[in-house]
Amino acid sequence: MARTSSLDQGSTPSLFSPYKMGRFNLSHRVVLAPCTRCRAINGIPQPALAEYYSQRATQGGFLITEGTMIDPTSAGFPHVPGIFTKEQVEAWKKVVDAVHAKGAIIFCQLWHVGRASHQVYQPGGSAPISSTDKPISKR
């Protein structure tokens, strides 16, 4: 017997139906997943980052930021944003305000890449901080 989809039955696809997520009411279930944009200087989100997220915000939509450094040792790529200095927090406020102006919500993905980092991204060129000194397998 052939399966029928909700489209065949004339109903609204669940992707476009409202969803309550805790205290947040989403108007649809399309979510912007985290994507590293590398639009920060010294961990400070630049205006292009606010524009990027604002362009993707919709009324009742949900966005998740790219991985955001929690301290200077947590970087895994160049030019990723952080959220551990006053300047970084102030820059993120502009991003959040731009997204909220479109009626969307935004969550920050906190990030520490541990041993996946490289010495070039570490303060003073030191070895990455991790729970182990075992290198990541090349497989």
- Model pTM score: 0.84
Contacts of 8 (CB under 8 A, 6+ apart): none
Whether residue 7 is contained in a domain is answered as no
Task: Give residue 42's pLDDT.
Answer: 95
Task: Give residue 137's pLDDT.
Answer: 78
Whether residue 136 is contained in a domain is answered as no
Whether residue 108 is contained in a domain is answered as yes
Whether residue 4 is contained in a domain is answered as no
Task: Give residue 83's pLDDT.
Answer: 98
Whether residue 97 is contained in a domain is answered as yes
Phi, psi angle pair for 113, to nearest 5°: -85, -5
73-98 pLDDT tens trace: 999 999 999 999 999 999 999 999 99
* DSSP string of 37-101, one letter each residue: ---EETTEEPHHHHHHHHHH--TT-EEEEEEEESSTT--SSTT--B-SSHHHHHHHHHHHHHHHH
- Under 8 Å between Cβ of 113 and 72: no
How far apart CA 21 and CA 75 sit, in angstroms, is 30
How far apart CA 40 and CA 139 sit, in angstroms, is 31
Instruction: Note down the domain range covering 98.
Output: 18-125
Low-confidence residues of the chain, pLDDT below 70?
1-13, 139
Whether residue 44 is contained in a domain is answered as yes
For the chain, the domain total comes to 1
Whether residue 8 is contained in a domain is answered as no
- Give 106's strand partners: 63
Whether residue 1 is contained in a domain is answered as no
How far apart CA 85 and CA 77 sit, in angstroms, is 18
